[in-house]
Amino acid sequence: MKTAEIMQRLAAKHPGEAEYLQAVEEVLNSIEEVYNQHPEFEKAQIIERMVEPDRIFTFRVTWVDDKGQVQTNLGYRVQFNSAIGPYKGGLRFHKAVTPSMLKFLGFEQTFKNALTTLPMGGGKGGSDFDPVGKSDAEIMRFCQAFMLELWRCIGPDQDIPAGDVGVGGREIGFLNGMYQKLSRQYHTGVLTGKGMTLGGSVLRPEATGFGALYFTQHVLHTAGKDIKGCRVALSGFGNVAWGAAIKATQLGAKVVAISGPDGVCEIKDGITQEMIDYMLVMRASNRNKVQDMADKFPAQAQFTAGKKAWSVKCDIALPCAFQNELSEDDAKELVKNGTWCCCEVSNMGCQPGAIHYFQSQKGFLFAPGKAVNAGGVATSGLEMTQNAEHISWDEKEVDERLHTIMRSIHEQCVTYGKQADGTIDYVKGANIAGFMKVATAMLEQGII
Ligand code: GLU
């Protein structure tokens, strides 16, 4: 296979689907060499089959806002690949959601889930519904209307959605309630990221951030470094950034920046527990303004409008917000300011130019989202196991399992990403490891 030829065909077939094409190209570039060493992959047209989702559901979601006005949004579920297990992946509620965005996320999810060691296929869904400024009652009505359509596409052995940007425990609760009402099925295993009273797993809310920091620790240790005392800049202030801030602080690092669409908060002395707790209040308010942190803690946090977290001096940059949030110019600014490590916590958080720039800097440590943030979906997998067994593990058990999974993901990256000079190309490592598992499973299932 030749990446350029495949990309040309895909771009002609799916014009304007920029994020999807970007995600596919990144994976194909990494795996081309390995793929071409396996004629059986080519014979079974593995790549041609793997880059297209199994199916996409699109539906209209109509609901009534607090003023009594009727609102209409679009809802989607992309069932990408089920070779290694039922479709698994989050729901994103964001005004910019398009089929292209969900296809890129579903494609990434397929490889990420393969890396977790658990039997989960890849899927993603969501809506162009914008939660910003919505009341709790509006969020509830939207979630209920969304589930009126989604419930027929999902099931505990078929497709198990969870949260993503704009969808947290509150939304999952509303979605779960409506699913049970419609299906008259009261099992707990059709959505993950549930609250503890609904059969959720301890540590699931923290898991993406915790897992990311465990992975970052492995990256640092392998390079002979320690996270203790490092300055960490995070983007975003949602669920993922919150978990990352807790664990980074616990491990002795100093979180010196969080950011939002409105700008950045610099926290010179490092984020405190009180401020971390306040991130949850900020998320629940649906205001989407990081300035609220500086207003609440004026002595500790300094807000600058229109700036990104990457303008703050740090050792480690952790993008935790949205795809393509870190550009090549941002990468240059970070390196100029002394940053030597970037672990993507958001899905495809760095633009291709930023990744190339980081990788061109001798000694710079870069790791991609599908490895770094896999602790979230891995803990969703642990939630599914607990639900299936009708039991609930304690924090120690879940944390140990999360540790084991993140260690295994790191080992897979090392196995497939070790370079001749002894350094590790984590992008290559993660992509090849995930690809080999999914491709092998597809081969074993025959042509379907
Ligand atoms: N949305 C998260 C991700 O990007 C979690 C998905 C899940 O738990 O199913 O991996």
Task: Give one DSSP letter per residue of 226-276, joined into a string.
Answer: --TT-EEEE---SHHHHHHHHHHHHTT-EEEEEEETTEEEE-TT---HHHH
Residues designated catalytic: 124
* 245 pLDDT higher than 90: yes
Q: Is residue 328 part of a domain?
A: yes
Q: Which atom of ligand 1 is nearest to the CA of 89?
A: 9
Residue 238 burial by CB count (10 A; 0-12/13-18/19+): exposed, middle or buried? buried
Best substitution site from 107, 109, 208 to test ligand 1's pocket, by max atoms within 8 Å of Cβ? 109
* 109 pLDDT higher than 90: yes
CB under 8 A, 24+ apart: contacts of 411-415: 412/115, 413/367, 413/371, 414/222
At residue 263 the predicted structure's pLDDT band, cuts being 50, 70 and 90, is: very high
The residue out of 159, 187, 215 marking a domain boundary is 187
Mean pLDDT for 323-341 is: 98
**Do residue 220 and residue 81 come from a single domain?**
no
Residue 89 CA to ligand 1 centre (angstroms):
5
Q: Is residue 240 part of a domain?
A: yes
User: Is there a contact between 116 and 405 (Cβ–Cβ < 8 Å)?
Assistant: yes
At residue 427 the predicted structure's pLDDT band, cuts being 50, 70 and 90, is: very high
The residue out of 187, 221, 252 marking a domain boundary is 187
Residue 257 CA to ligand 1 centre (angstroms):
24
pTM of the model: 0.97
**Do residue 224 and residue 357 come from a single domain?**
yes
**Do residue 150 and residue 223 come from a single domain?**
no
User: Is there a contact between 218 and 370 (Cβ–Cβ < 8 Å)?
Assistant: no
Give the CB-side neighbour count of residue 170, counting CA atoms within 13 A: 19
Tens of pLDDT, residue by residue over 196-212, are 999 999 999 999 999 99
**Do residue 293 and residue 172 come from a single domain?**
no
| Alpha-carbon span 364 to 89, nearest angstrom | 31
The residue out of 316, 349, 372 marking a domain boundary is 372
**Do residue 212 and residue 343 come from a single domain?**
yes
Around ligand 1, the residues with Cβ closer than 6 Å are 88-90, 109, 162, 164, 192-193, 347, 373, 376-377, 380
| Alpha-carbon span 379 to 356, nearest angstrom | 31
Tens of pLDDT, residue by residue over 157-182, are 999 999 999 999 999 999 999 999 99
Q: Is residue 420 part of a domain?
A: no
Please tell me the predicted confidence (pLDDT) of residue 54: 98
**Do residue 177 and residue 110 come from a single domain?**
yes
User: Is there a contact between 61 and 147 (Cβ–Cβ < 8 Å)?
Assistant: no
**Do residue 123 and residue 224 come from a single domain?**
no
Tens of pLDDT, residue by residue over 265-299, are 999 999 999 999 999 999 999 999 999 999 999 99
Tens of pLDDT, residue by residue over 41-94, are 999 999 999 999 999 999 999 999 999 999 999 999 999 999 999 999 999 999
Please tell me the predicted confidence (pLDDT) of residue 368: 98
User: Containing domain of residue 181, as a range?
Assistant: 53-187
At residue 1 the predicted structure's pLDDT band, cuts being 50, 70 and 90, is: confident
**Do residue 69 and residue 102 come from a single domain?**
yes
* 104 pLDDT higher than 90: yes
**Do residue 114 and residue 213 come from a single domain?**
no
CATH number at residue 354: 3.40.50.720
**Do residue 76 and residue 220 come from a single domain?**
no
CATH number at residue 163: 3.40.50.10860
User: Is there a contact between 398 and 382 (Cβ–Cβ < 8 Å)?
Assistant: yes
User: Is there a contact between 314 and 231 (Cβ–Cβ < 8 Å)?
Assistant: yes
For the chain, what is the domain count?
2
Q: Is residue 198 part of a domain?
A: no
**Do residue 182 and residue 315 come from a single domain?**
no
Residue 106 CA to ligand 1 centre (angstroms):
10
Tens of pLDDT, residue by residue over 114-139, are 999 999 999 999 999 999 999 999 99
Q: Which atom of ligand 1 is nearest to the CA of 91?
A: 1
Q: Is residue 445 part of a domain?
A: no
Residue 90 CA to ligand 1 centre (angstroms):
5
Coil vs helix vs strand at 15: coil
User: Is there a contact between 332 and 320 (Cβ–Cβ < 8 Å)?
Assistant: no
The DSSP code sequence of 109-162 is HHHHHHHTTS--EEEEEEES---TT--HHHHHHHHHHHHHHHGGG-BTTTEEEE
Please tell me the predicted confidence (pLDDT) of residue 299: 98
Residue of 156, 201, 203, 151 whose CA lies nearest to 177: 151
Best substitution site from 102, 159, 164, 323 to test ligand 1's pocket, by max atoms within 8 Å of Cβ? 164
**Do residue 218 and residue 114 come from a single domain?**
no
Best substitution site from 19, 104, 201, 208 to test ligand 1's pocket, by max atoms within 8 Å of Cβ? 208
| Alpha-carbon span 132 to 117, nearest angstrom | 36
| Alpha-carbon span 30 to 361, nearest angstrom | 19
